[in-house]
Structure 1
């Protein structure tokens, strides 16, 4: 099953260590370490945990209590570990998702002190044919279609430049 960014992010955080929804929500809130990339409200986090549990990718491990409402701590399953590790290694398919999905993957890999070079290289390889296709379409386009394709072309060129700079640093 293909998940949305909230499910993948929650799964990756639980992959780091067992956690409850409130802790994940703090990371993805405004000002949180992962919230700098993509903010996710607490209800979204709890829905993601529920979906992941229903799919057998996380399981309740214990109930924390003290000072507030009881909180269910979730641990990742082997299937969850495999799924999130594969997702973290996979390049983002659409340029429009680079800002959210790719940056989140890079943040999550960095949190675990894992290398990002392979993902950066794979992402670059995934974008090269996109650039060629957009450039070819742009040559034939007229009117607003030409404007739109110029915008898309510029975005792909900028993304490749970002990946090149990042690749030099890792």
Structure 2
């Protein structure tokens, strides 16, 4: 995930401190994993180091320090460049699901059981997403449909993988 560029996008609406950046991210992607505070502050530190954001205010007001960040001209250009470039197709990448399956097959683990559990988890997540409204934000529906489409593609792959593993076992008999 392009966390740095997402943070630049969030800051393009105006200066904010880390807590607001985290809340903004989580509002933009309500059906995804929340952004961790540590990741926000680490990324803001790197962006500041690289001249893409700057500190515009520091306050403590009797509580924890609050640092307010703003996107710089260089940061806006970086964001424009990032938004302009197409994302390369993910050919040959192996996510955790594929890694677990290959490991189960190669080590004699319960690959079919893993596939069944994974399939049930995907179906459960699709039902959760379809049963609750996506929210008022106009992009929430886009995010939701993207997630569901990917889960659906995973389900088709899980079925194909189980079919292949079953066919391979029968062929070896």
TM-score by length of 2: 0.48
